[in-house]
Structure 1
Amino acid sequence: MQAMQYKVGLPADYEMGIIRDRVLNNGSKTDGFTDLLFKAYLITDKSSGDLQNSYSPLYVWKQTEGMNKFIFDGFFDNIIGSFGWQNIEIGVTQTVNLSESFPKSKYVLEEYHDIPEAAALNGFEFKAESYDDMLGQVTIYNPDKWKYATFSFFENRPQDTDKKIYTILHLSLDK
Structure 2
Amino acid sequence: MHAMQYEITLPADYDMGIIRKRVADKGHLLDTYPGLGLKAYLIRERGLDGSPVNQYAPFYLWRTPQGMNSFLWGPGFRGLSADFGRPAVRHWLGAGLALGEAGGGDTGRGDTGPGEAGPGAEGPTTATRETVRLPEAADPAEAVEQALAGLPAHPALHTAAVAVDPSRWELLRFALWRGPAPEDVPGARYRVLHLSRPELDRLPAGRHW
Tell me the TM-score normalized by structure 2: 0.76
Shift of 1:106: 0.8
Alignment partner, residue 70 of structure 1: 71
Structure 1 CA distance for aligned equivalents of residues 79 and 60 of structure 2 = 16
Structure 1 segments unaligned to the other structure (5+ residues): none
Structure 1 segments (4+ residues) deviating >4 Å: 119-122
Equivalences, count: 175
Partners in 1 of 2:38 and 2:55 — Cα distance?
A: 20
Structure 1 distance, partners of 2:141, 2:8, is 36
Q: Quote the RMSD (CA, aligned, Å).
A: 2.0
State percent identity of aligned pairs: 30
Q: Which one has a larger percent strand, Structure 1 or Structure 2? A: 1
Residue 141 of structure 1 is matched in structure 2 by 164
Unpaired stretches in structure 2, ≥5 consecutive residues = 107-122, 200-209
CA distance in 2, matches of 1:67, 1:156: 29
Q: TM-score, normalised by structure 1?
A: 0.90
Q: Secondary structure at the match of 1:70?
A: helix
Q: Which residue of 2 aligns with 1:39?
A: 39
Q: CA deviation at 1:160?
A: 3.7
Q: Match for 1:168: what amino acid?
A: V
Tell me which residue corresponds to 1:172. 196
What is the aligned partner in structure 2 of residue 110 from structure 1?
129
- SS in structure 2 of the partner of residue 113 of structure 1: strand
Shift of 1:140: 1.5
Instruction: Name the structure 1 match of 2:152.
Output: 130
